[in-house]
Amino acid sequence: MSIDVDAAADHLRSQWDRLDRWLRGLGGELGRAVDRPSVLDGWSIGELVSHLGRVMEALARCGPVAPGTVPLSFAEYLGTYPDRAEEIAEATRTLDAEIAPDRLGGVEDRAAQAFARLDALAGERVVQARRGPITLQDMVVSRVVELVVHADDLSRSFPEIHDDPVDPRALDAVAAELLHVVVVRGGWSLEVHDPMLWVRLATGRERYDVDQLAKALTPVHTSEAVPDLGRMLPLL
């Protein structure tokens, strides 16, 4: 990973605060839209908001591990997502039904628990997460990835709202981390040119296209080209 746990925690807090303010700023519009489909196929806007609580709850439930526990790599942890897609969706629907009377309040409570747990885990290198052991640093980065991606999902679900809930610094960090996964696997020398486009391609929000990829990434060396990553993407 290219950022340490403290930097990742700063990005997590900044992205959460910005997204929370944005959601609160929707006022009654959010309540009227909860049953409307979001841009995330098969998910309503209400379910997508409630999923933010599950995202933060995953950090709140982390705990210490036995000495010598070998953690999953960041890429391995992301790789557990596809096989659990239906499980994640069903758990989100259950949570949504539970907190529907005060959806934002329920999500905010879980975020507060997550940040309290993060403070309590200070000094731990490896923690036990839902999907296995992972370094605390990678766990926090994974939460930043989730918040940035879902902030963009929500923004696109409200095209009439022009304020952006995505924190620019958090977006840059997420784009860099997702590129790091690709570079480690393939050994290419690449850099991010369009962070949002790259994040959408890397997470399956944008249909893969080599021309779009060439807009999102650029080779470090001008004599090289952006490789075809069609078999590697989406990463999650």
Domain at 205, CATH number: 1.20.120.450
Contact 104, 211 (CB under 8 A): no
Contact 39, 204 (CB under 8 A): no
Tell whether 228 is covered by a domain.
no
Tell whether 138 is covered by a domain.
yes
Whether pLDDT at 105 is above 70? yes
Contact 217, 188 (CB under 8 A): no
Q: Please list the residues that pair with 133 across neighbouring strands.
A: 128
Tell whether 230 is covered by a domain.
no
Distance CA 176, CA 121 (A): 25
Instruction: Give per-residue pLDDT as tens, 145-180.
Output: 999 999 999 999 999 999 999 999 999 999 999 999
Whether pLDDT at 95 is above 70? yes
Tell whether 108 is covered by a domain.
yes
Distance CA 126, CA 155 (A): 33
Pair type for strands 132-135 and 190-192: unpaired
Tell whether 231 is covered by a domain.
no
From residue 158, alpha-carbon distances to 16, 19, 37, 38 in Å are: 18, 13, 11, 8
Tell whether 145 is covered by a domain.
yes
Average pLDDT of the chain, as a whole number: 95
Tell whether 225 is covered by a domain.
no
Which residue reads 């998910």 in tokens? 43
pTM reported for the whole predicted model: 0.96
For residue 133, what are the domain limits?
Answer: 5-219
Percent of residues, the chain, with pLDDT higher than 70: 99
Instruction: Count the domains in the chain.
Output: 1
Tell whether 61 is covered by a domain.
yes
Q: Distance of alpha carbon 139 from its chain centroid, rounded?
A: 11
Instruction: Give per-residue pLDDT as tens, 116-140.
Output: 999 999 999 999 998 899 999 999 9
